[in-house]
Structure 1
Amino acid sequence: MPEPFRDKLFRLISDLVLCHSPSGMEQEIDAFILSWLESVGVKAHSDNAGNIIARIRGVNSGPVLAVTAHKDEIGGIVKRVREDGKVEVRRLGGSFPWIYGEGVVDLLGDRLTIPAILSFGSRHVCHESPQKVYEEDKPPKWDTVWVDTKMSKSELEDAGVRPGTRMVVGRHRKAPFRMGDYIASYALDNKASVAILLLLAEAIKAPAADLDLVFTAKEEVGAIGALYYTHQKRIDELIALEIAPKSAEYPIESDEDPVLLSQDSYGMYDETLNGRLATAARKAGLHVQYAVLSQFGSDASIAMKAGHVSKAACLGFPAENSHGYEIAHLGALEACYRILQTYLS
């Protein structure tokens, strides 16, 4: 008996989330993606920017359609290693220390991964201690917290921990949690979209036109991978798979209906392409929601603003606690898959 789609999706997302992939240090998830694609008979390659590209030949020749899902996650980057072995980090992408809280993080050294504790200091203090403000006035910030390794500076040097080393939330804290048809986890942005793209690669055999499924690198620090890819290749249409942050300021009402963006911080999306995706949703018996987002960008909007693509769209799944411990409905993820499967076929 075949595995229920949402169970398969949850299992695949769980595997992907456990692959550390802070921007620019994406080797773990690269190995998983390439192995998975090979197992389903889909050829793929990596380019010089770290993107993984799976080309599926279409029935008709002509301009290439690309669908992207970025494979990097937010985290921290080491600024300095103190003489006492404590490590100072700064944001990598849209991360904040209060989201992770005190607890285990992993420092991805050149030779060893070092588990350590993101630390804010003691609570049993008065105004004489700088961390007192966390209890009363301010959230902790990267320049006022530290990572405690209980190792010497020389031991950390031997492990390859240095300025530029990436930090992510500890692996044992990352396993997704399921609540019925909801999934909760760090890094659903954008491991859930990567899972959808992998399942599309398995399912789509003869798209209407040549199709690139692109697992993009370094999106969280400026869509670097997508900009390189779209600069190198002529792409007529680009669809980015993303999260759609739920907030009182946006009219995103359903947890199960995907979201088409009309605008974000980088500019307008193409309404003609949005219309075609909405038509595909109706053909699949699904509904879409629309939103205009602030403080948000995608591979699609950034590439279109740079003049690399003429038409771009962003299809997202509603998510609470974006860039934190995110919660999404598996039904919305399945709907994104069904809409794209219909559109691409």
Structure 2
Amino acid sequence: MGGVGRGRRGRAARGRRATGRRPVDEQDRAALQELLRAYGPVGQEDEVREVARRRLEPSVDRCWQDPAGNVVGLVRGTDPDAPAVRVTAHLDELSMLVKRVEPDGSLHVTPLGTMYPGNFGLGPVAVLGDGRHLPGVLALGSEHTTQETPRVWQTKPDGGDQALDWTHVSVFTGRSPADLADAGVGPGTRVCVDRSKRGLFDVGGFVGSYFLDDRAAVAALLRAARELRGGTRPRADTYLVLSVAEEIGGVGASYACRTLPGDLVVALEVGPAEAEYGTSVHGGPVVGYSDAAGVYDKRVADRLCAAARARGVVAQPAVLGAFESDASHATAAGLSARAGLLCLPTLSTHGYEVMPATAVTDVAAVLVEFLRQPAEREGPV
């Protein structure tokens, strides 16, 4: 695999890398916190899209929303002959979808994206009705029950010992079905983790929150846009795509790759920090060489690792499984000729996620260095 030698050196160097070497930028932190607090379930990304567009627009030459719902920002390059590059970070978040309203006013929900009730934890949620948002509680039931309450008993270690699943939980609303209907709540309504659980949590030199996937990557893209517009511009015209519906198959980015110029797409993502992949949350950005949906362009991955070295960051090359991105979805569908993947190293992906406090700064620095390199013009390997 490309970059294996660098990977061995990188693993040896991780212990020497000071997590807080780069100062945490307060503008980045403020942007990330605002993005985290904004709701953005698949198919209803309006709130987070507005935050992201407002923050992106001053840093690009042109900004618009495409028919798929993506926010696209263009930063003009210095080489008019260089092929355009698309960079994506997705706006949407994992959430729940109302399947039915029960007679007692509770909501039976199913996942919108790949996760389980334990990823979210029992507690407050927001029910995004068409008329208004309502509070709710993701609930299981009393542990002080027997087999007469099978929904709970099945999950007890001294009972059925099953993993908690969506058939076991419901959303308590405290409302009647008529009240819910008046608020525009019914099948298809999105239910999100409540804002009260979406604040940044500092732990040593790291930060934790729900939905760092992919709001931290969006924050990194916003920082990169500021650097590119304010300093040395990219070599090629660069389309910064804040995409929708990544969690259900990279729908927005695939549309963007079909309609925007260029043959390369680079996805910014959270990257699993696991021994299985030789990656650590104590290390630098994760560079993907392949994932479950396909193989990333080796030259692009190698260039990303080189860009990290040029910025004094130790990249972590990885061959990923059970992972897909906007970029691998687009290439798998034949909508982009080449793809790259640059990730913020993250613990507990699709759960309460943790990453280095400097991850946004590091990934933005690597991306900017990559985009300022001479454009590739050679053919396929």
TM-score range, shorter chain: over 0.9
Stretches of 4+ aligned residues off by more than 4 angstroms: 39-42
Q: Counterpart amino acid of 1:141?
A: D
Partner of 1:319: 346
Partner of 2:28: 9
* Corresponding residue SS for 1:314: strand
After superposition, residues 79-158 of structure 1 pair within 5 angstroms as 79-130=99-150, 131-136=152-157, 137-158=161-182
After superposition, residues 131-210 of structure 1 pair within 5 angstroms as 131-136=152-157, 137-205=161-229, 206-210=233-237
CA contact under 8 A between 2:61 and 2:76: conserved in structure 1? no
TM-score scaled to structure 2, two decimals?
0.87
Partner of 2:245: 218
Structure 1 position 138, deviation (Å): 1.1
Q: Which of 77, 80, 86 is 1:58 aligned to?
A: 77
Q: Paired residues, what number?
A: 343
Of stretches 199-208 and 38-47 in structure 1, the one that deviates more from structure 2 is: 38-47
Structure 1 position 90, deviation (Å): 0.3
Q: Does 1:44 align with 2:83?
A: no
TM-score scaled to structure 1, two decimals?
0.96
Residues 260-293 of structure 1, C-alpha deviations (whole Å, 9 max, x = no match): 1111110111001111112211211221111111
* Corresponding residue SS for 1:235: coil
Residues 5-35 of structure 1, C-alpha deviations (whole Å, 9 max, x = no match): 4333222211110000011110111111121
- For the aligned residue pairs, the C-alpha RMSD in angstroms reads 1.5
Distance 2:179 2:61 in 1: 43
Q: Which runs of 5+ in 2 are unaligned?
A: 1-22, 373-381
Partner of 1:67: 87
Distance 2:57 2:123 in 1: 36
Structure 1 position 82, deviation (Å): 1.3
> Which structure dedicates a bigger proportion of its chain to strand?
1
Partner of 2:19: none
The sequence identity of aligned pairs, in percent, is 37
Distance 2:258 2:111 in 1: 28
* Corresponding residue SS for 2:242: strand
Distance 1:74 1:124 in 2: 31
* Corresponding residue SS for 1:59: coil
Q: Which runs of 5+ in 1 are unaligned?
A: none
Partner of 1:258: 285
CA contact under 8 A between 1:76 and 1:95: conserved in structure 2? no
CA contact under 8 A between 2:257 and 2:265: conserved in structure 1? no
